[in-house]
Amino acid sequence: MNFIEYDLLFESRNQLIEEITELEDKTLNHKPVPDIWSIAQICHHLYLSEQAITEAIARGIRDKDYKNIIQKNIYLISDMKKNSNLLTSFYHHKNLFNYQKL
């Protein structure tokens, strides 16, 4: 990730926080229909997703064998079908889809 992408992610995160900070609990927890998530549920999901991704990146950096790096074609890295272990780890994160009223 380059600095521009990081800045955009950081800015969008800050914008979201700014927009929801002044919302009342009733608005945050309102579900338009039973099968649609509330703003609070969506934000909680984003928070847990960010946490799970950060943990996966940290684990990858920590466990990396820097002495035996194998060069790979970029399409192998970017094709998520070939990275099923990462997806499985991400989607089976213990708290990813648990909802708590905020």
- Please report, for residues 1, 9, 42, 75, the alpha-carbon distance to residue 80 in angstroms, rounded to integers and kept in the order given: 17, 20, 23, 9
What is the tens place of the pLDDT at every residue in 32-71? 999 999 999 999 999 898 888 888 888 888 887 767 767 6
Which pLDDT score is estimated for 20? 93
Q: What is the mean pLDDT of residues 11-19?
A: 92
In whole angstroms, what is the distance from residue 13 CA to residue 24 CA?
Answer: 19
Q: What is the mean pLDDT of residues 75-99?
A: 53
Share of the chain above pLDDT 90, in %: 30
Which pLDDT score is estimated for 102? 47
DSSP string, 6-17: HHHHHHHHHHHH
Please determine, for residue 23, whether its predicted confidence score (pLDDT) is greater than 50: yes
Which pLDDT score is estimated for 61? 80
- The 10 Å Cβ neighbour count of residue 60 is 10
Which pLDDT score is estimated for 77? 55
Please determine, for residue 28, whether its predicted confidence score (pLDDT) is greater than 90: yes
